[in-house]
Amino acid sequence: MSLSIIILAAGQGTRMHSALPKVLHQLAGRTLLEHVYVAASRLDHRQIQIVYGYGGKMVPETLAHLQADWIEQKQQLGTGHAVKLTMPTVPDVDNVLVLYGDIPLITFETLHLLVKAAGSNGFSLLTAYLDEPTGYGRILRDPSGNVTAIVEEKDATPAQKEINEINTGMMVVQARLLKRWLSELKNSNAQSEYYLTDIVEMAVADNIRVNTILPESITEIHGINNRAQLAEIERYYQLIQAQHLMRHGVTLMDPSRFDLRGDLEAGRDVRIDINVVIEGSVSIGNNVMIGQNCYINNADIGDGAVILPNCIIENAVIGAGCKIGPFARIRPDTRLADNVHIGNFVEIKKSEIGSGSKVNHLSYIGDSEIGKNVNVGAGTITCNYDGENKHKTVVGDNVFIGSDTQLIAPVSIGNGATIGAGTTVTKDVLADSLTINKLEHKTIKNWKRPGKKKS
Ligand code: UD1
Ligand code: CA
C-alpha cells in the first residue's frame, strides 16, 4: 500500500476579490498552495496530484517547480468531482489523502497521524471543534459516537447547525472504495454540487468505519477566504517563526516587528532590531547585528558583521566582520570579503571587494573588482556604462582613491597607486604611481559677489 496525495486548488476564492487564484496568494513569502505541498510532501508517498481550475494555467505555471501532476478541473462542480478527476492514475491498493490548497498551516505531524488512523483498508477524517462552526460541514454521529454522515451548512437543519464538530475537509480513504463511492455521487443538494463529503454515508452503509482525529492546534485547519484572514494567519505564522529563532539564540528586539518570508539560518547571538524583513534564503553567522529597517534578500552574512539601520542587501555575500550602512544598498552579485566597510549612501553592484577595504561615503561601485585594503574616498563613481554596454573597473591592493573621483571603465588601477581627489581616471594606472588631473587652483583677490538686484 502506498499513498496518493490530492490537493484541491481549483476554486477562485471569490472573497479575495483578486485576479490571482486564491492559492497563489502568499503567506510568509510562499504561496498558500506551497505551504500545503511542503507539509504533504514530507509524507511517504507515491504521487501528488493538484487539481487546478480558476486562473487556468496560472497556477501550474507559477508552481511548475513542484514535484506534482497537474489535473485541470474546467468547471468547479464540487469537491467530489474534483477528487474523481484524479482517480485514473491512482492504483486501487493506495490510500488517498485529500487536502485543500487554501488551508496552509496543516502540519506534517497531523497528516501523519491522519494517514495512520486510516489503516490499510479504511477511512479517516480530520475534524475539529469550533465555537463558531458556521460555514463548515458538520459531523453527524450516532448515539455510540460513530460518524454517520457529514451535512453541509447549506443543507443542515437548525438542530444540525448547533453541532460544533466540523469537517476540516482533509481525509484519507482507501482508493478502491473511494473510486466506487465517487462513481455513485449525486448532486441533488442545495448547491447542486458533487460533495466529496457524501462518501461518508456510503462508507457507513458499506460497514466501513470512519475514524476521526483532531489537529494538535486549531490554526492548522484555518482556511483562507479573505484578505483579513490572510493577514491574521500571516501574523500568527510570523510569531511562530520568530519564537523558533529566539529559541535558537537569536535576539529579536520585537518579535511582532520581524518578518521572515523564506528561510533563515542564523547562528548564535544574532541581534535583529525592529522592522527587519528577510526574504528568500538567508544565512547569518554568529554575533551578527542587524539594525532597524533593513531588507535582506538571499544573502550570506558572515560572523560578527554589523548591518547598521536602513540597509538593503540582495543576492550578496557579506564577509565576517564587515560593517555596512547606515543607508547602504548592496545589489545582486556582490561579494564582500572579510572586514569590508561600506558606509552611508553607498551603492555596490556586481562587484567584489577585498578584505579590509573601505567605501565609506556616497559612492557607486559597479561591475568592479577591488583589492585588499583599498580606501575609496567619498563620492567616488565607477562610470561603468557607456549608454550601450557595461564595462569593468579593476582596482589592485592598497590603492588610495581620493574623494570625488570618476573611474571611466574599462579601467584598471595597479597595486599601491594613489589617485588624487577630484580626478577623472580615463586610462589604466600604474602600480605605486600618483595620478591627478591637471587642475589649476586660481585665486582672485578681493572678489565681490554680485549684489542683489533692486526691484
Ligand atoms: C468543504 C466541505 C465542508 C468543509 C469545508 C472545510 C464539501 C462538500 N464540503 O466545503 O464539509 O467543512 O470544505 O473548508 O466538500 N474545490 C475544487 N473544485 C471544486 C470545489 C472545490 O478544487 O469543484 C476546492 C476549493 O478550491 C477549496 C476546497 O476544494 O480549496 C474546498 O472547496 P469549498 O468550495 O471551499 O468547500 P466548502 O463549501 O468550504
Ligand atoms: Ca471553504
Q: How many domains does the chain fold into? A: 2
- Are 102 and 184 within one domain? yes
| Structural domain harbouring 19 | 3-221
Per the domain annotation, does 451 fall within a domain? no
**Ligand 1 and 185: CB distance under 6 A:** no
246 in Cβ contact with 229 (< 8 Å): no
Per the domain annotation, does 442 fall within a domain? no
- Are 281 and 179 within one domain? no
Q: State the distance from the centre of ligand 1 to the C-alpha of 157, rounded, in angstroms.
A: 20
Residue 51 alpha carbon, nearest atom of ligand 1: 22
- Are 197 and 302 within one domain? no
- Are 215 and 265 within one domain? no
- Are 185 and 67 within one domain? yes
Looking at residue 182, which CATH number applies to its domain? 3.90.550.10
Per the domain annotation, does 201 fall within a domain? yes
- Are 255 and 354 within one domain? yes
27 in Cβ contact with 233 (< 8 Å): yes
Measured distance between the N- and C-terminal CA atoms of the chain, rounded to whole angstroms = 97
168 in Cβ contact with 221 (< 8 Å): yes
- Are 217 and 231 within one domain? no
Angle at 401 between CA 399 and CA 405, to 5 degrees: 150
Q: Which amino acid is at 22?
A: K
- Are 63 and 135 within one domain? yes
Q: Record the pTM.
A: 0.92
- Are 331 and 354 within one domain? yes
Per the domain annotation, does 247 fall within a domain? yes
- Are 367 and 254 within one domain? yes
Instruction: Please report, in tens digits, the pLDDT of each residue of the chain (455 residues total).
Output: 799 999 999 998 899 999 999 999 999 999 999 999 999 999 999 999 999 999 999 999 999 999 999 999 999 999 999 999 999 999 999 999 999 999 999 999 999 999 999 987 789 999 999 999 999 999 999 999 999 999 999 999 999 999 999 999 999 999 999 999 999 999 999 999 999 999 999 999 999 999 999 999 999 999 999 999 999 999 999 999 999 999 999 999 999 999 999 999 999 999 999 999 999 999 999 999 999 999 999 999 999 999 999 999 999 999 999 999 999 999 999 999 999 999 999 999 999 999 999 999 999 999 999 999 999 999 999 999 999 999 999 999 999 999 999 999 999 999 999 999 999 999 999 999 999 998 889 999 999 999 998 87
CB atoms within 10 A of CB 231: 12
- Are 212 and 71 within one domain? yes
Per the domain annotation, does 454 fall within a domain? no
CA distance 336 to 352: 6
Looking at residue 341, which CATH number applies to its domain? 2.160.10.10
Residue where one domain finishes, among candidates 200, 221, 242: 221
Which of 35, 65, 244, 361 is catalytic? The answer is 361
- Are 188 and 325 within one domain? no
Q: State the distance from the centre of ligand 1 to the C-alpha of 155, rounded, in angstroms.
A: 14
Is 361 a catalytic site residue?
yes
